Structure 1
Amino acid sequence: MLLNTIELGPENGDLSQPPVVFLHGLFGRARNFGFFQRRIAANRRTLALDLRNHGGSPHGPMDYPVLAADVCETLAAHDALPATVVGHSMGGKTAMMLALSFPAEVHSLMVVDIAPGEGGFSQSHELARRLAGLPLPDFLDRAGAEAWLGQVIAEKPVRDLMLMNLDLGEKPRWTIGLKDIAASMPAIIGWPDVLPGARYDGPTLFVAGGRSHYIQPDNYPAMRRLFPHYRLETIPDAGHWVHAQAPQAFLTALENFLQI
């Protein structure tokens, strides 16, 4: 599946370096990384992708091997391989699966607040189920959508995230593949069995939010087995949404990793 892609690059830069690819998290979209993409694009070619069922990309059943194959196919179509891949949460698991499945196509890997294992997304599983079962009214403006989403989402930041996935007005509709997402949540929460001996030997940085629980010491053995050259960096004042909650610290970590 070819994915919707936002591409930016320098007018006069060194395009001999691997492109930098951004993969968003669950219920997100490519432009979630817009600030960082614009900064990195001053020096490097960049591509931000809408993953399957998100943003402007097609819909369908999904698990991590499928998501990784979509990303590989899309980057190949853009002549953007091998690439440095940066993924947050679900996008981080997709990036890890891409590196394990197609190691020659990943120059280096930055995984943001997620580990290679089952876990995370437990609240999102319930949210996807409840939203999929919530009938859409005939008309929604922004205020009405806030109230409508408030039936199942108490937290305003989460409502704001989901509002980005609604076309408002007459006959409002979800732009995301909500039913496919809800049906695929067990696979998204999980982590597939990888081939025996599978590993990615390239440079790998895990970035954890200091106030997040998504990367735990229990995950370290799998991280070392699958990504033997990994480093772990913690941004103390951030939760799971590291790049949104501590943007300057995240940008510094990203630029240092890219050696910009």
Structure 2
Amino acid sequence: MKIANVLYLLPLLALSGCALSENLSPPANGKAVKVAVVKPADVDILPMDVIYRSEKCRDKIFTSTGAINSRAGYHLLTVPFNPEKGSDRVSNNIALDGGGQCEWKLSNIKFDFQYHNMKKFGAGVKRSIPSDIVFVFDRNAPPRGDGHYDDVYGVIEIKKNYYPLIRKKNTDEEMLVLRVQGQPMLTYRVHDANSIVFEPIFHSDMVVNAVPPKKKGGGYTLIYPNGDEIIDRYFPNSEKTKYEFVKQKSR
């Protein structure tokens, strides 16, 4: 699998305490993982944050007591998705072995996705919050997560459902925030994979409105597509915001 299409995206990050060259240099015939997304027409798939780690070139860090410790060095790339001709997919190939004197290894991949045009949900929508997905390839902690991983193997195909949640901000009655709502903290630990296909399924007609409480300590009022209203004290990540629950409230 060709990996030359990511080589132009190899910037340097300074690693304290490392006298070796920090360049990435993936082997010409090295293994790569193809990351593809089935792109909905009204959704933007943002570039991947790709992190390589090195045990050979370690970072020096200071603990809370002032002692010096070390951790695996890291190298961050921003890798765009490329449209696949004649397809609704976007994709790119990511080298598993970053090579170089530091012997970089792929650690994790993260990318966001959001609605292309937030204004279609109303002129009052002033901000759009994306959702994301993380794939972990080693035992290092990813940039975000709650410590829970789903293990995936081989040819990986993932489908997840999402819907638009519009939240009114407490501080400004006129400001609405559009959020891509689905399963939070979606994180996978990847084993022996050479391809990943992610298909986010967007249900743009299943709009849920979240109205803040009038008094401090109260719950948000959730207004569902069928007109039902429920007060949710555990908003935003509660059972009442899960896709299957919202689907029932859309009939």
- After TM superposition, the score normalised by the length of structure 2 is 0.27
More strand by share: 2
- After TM superposition, the score normalised by the length of structure 1 is 0.26
More helix by share: 1
Higher-Rg structure is 2
